[in-house]
Amino acid sequence: MSTTLPGGEYKLAEDLTVTRMGYGAMQLAGPHVFGPPKDHDGALAVLREVINLGITHIDTSDFYGPHITNQLIKEALHPYPEQLRIVTKVGATRDEKGNWPQALAPHELRQAIHDNLANLGVEALDVVNLRVGGLSEPTPGSLAEPFGVLAQLQQEGLIKHLGVSNVAAEQIAEAQSIAPVVCVQNFYNIANRQDDALIDSLAKQGIAYAPFFPLGGFSPLQSDALSGVATRLNATPMAVALAWLLQRSPNILLIPGTSSVDHLRENVAGAGLQLPEDAIEELNGIAV
């Protein structure tokens, strides 16, 4: 097992320390995150390589598949290594067409927690993120009722720590008025930097920020600019995107996903790229 990963570790709570280089398990399910994977054994191999590389943070959800991804994690890794922390999310479900309707009613959230517990094979979940927004941006409104349900489940001992996903700053503050928040998961990358001020605020509070879609939402011109920097550094655009995120703020946790062992290794190596100042300045200039 490797003990040196890009970015080192981040402590979210007294009993919650993870490697900043994590792994997002969404892509382990079938096409469009629906149904079983085409290569079952290959999916298990990816998860086992995550552990071999020393990664201690796996991001997942029971609505990936649905149920498939968590079942794969359990099959590949249970009983889990002592240092591994599995972060899951609730607040959506899947319909028969593979859509992602919200599922924020109290009974839906309770069922989701019990499904996660069963499919992961654990008695308590390390971290549960409440997803309240759309796929790429927050949806205005109160999250008090659904977050309160999770806080109650935390009091019952089924959840150790709570986080929020696809949220605005005021929604995070509302959640914090109900129970401690250890992490935020939002859409953010080099080209989409609406959360810059939020990331800095969370860093001061010791709250982790896990951006998703590191290459999502780029315009053609932005993609060209990123590719130009990558070519100059003899690296891939993904490596540059991950390295930029890791160097952006010490509270940023990376959760890139892949269903390939080789790609997983490339992501880990790429995140360790040290970007020179001129490259960072050029990359900072492509934000919308």
Alpha helices in 144-219 (DSSP H): 144-155, 169-176, 196-205
Residue 138 and residue 144: Cα distance in Å, rounded? 15
Residues 186, 147: contact at Cβ < 8 Å?
A: no
Q: What are phi and psi of 164, to 5 degrees?
A: -135, 155
- Name the DSSP letter for residue 67: T
Burial 146-176 (b: 16+ CB within 10 A, else e): bbebbbbbbeeebbbbbbbbbbbeebbebbe
Strand partners, 92: 102
Q: Which residues are catalytic?
A: 64
Contact 29, 35 (CB under 8 A): yes
Partners of residue 270 on adjacent β-strands: none
Euclidean distance between CA atoms 143 and 148, whole angstroms: 8
Which residue is listed with tokens 């992490």?
183
**Residue 11 CA to its chain's centroid (Å):** 16
Q: How far is CA 124 from CA 114, 128, 241, in A?
A: 10, 10, 34
Residue located via tokens 């080192």: 8
Q: How far apart are the first and last CA of the chain?
A: 40
